[in-house]
Amino acid sequence: MSHVITLRGIVGLFEHALAVIVGFILMVVGLALGVTMIMLPVGVVVGLVGVAIFVTGLLVRFDRT
């Protein structure tokens, strides 16, 4: 039983780390797209989605119960 609890903790840690990394990458991509005037609307949307995923990875609990 303790192996299941430990496995859930490790998987939860990797889920949060993955969400933070993906959010950061999307923020950087959104910033890069926002530099060009033509891709500015897409860059703003991608950047805001990245911020939302980043904050979710830091603060929200991914519990299935």
Give 10-residue mean pLDDT values along the chain (65 residues).
72 90 97 92 96 93 66
* The pTM of the whole model exceeds 0.85: no
Distance between CA atoms of residues 35 and 47, nearest Å: 12
Q: What's the confidence (pLDDT) of residue 10? A: 83
What is the model's pLDDT at position 2?
67
- Cα 64 to the center of its chain, rounded Å: 18
Instruction: State both tokens at 60.
Output: 């929200």
> Can you give the pLDDT at residue 32?
94
By the 8 A CB rule, do 16 and 58 touch? yes
Buried b (16+ CB within 10 A) or exposed e, 18-29: ebbeebeebbeb
> Residue 65: its pLDDT value, please?
59
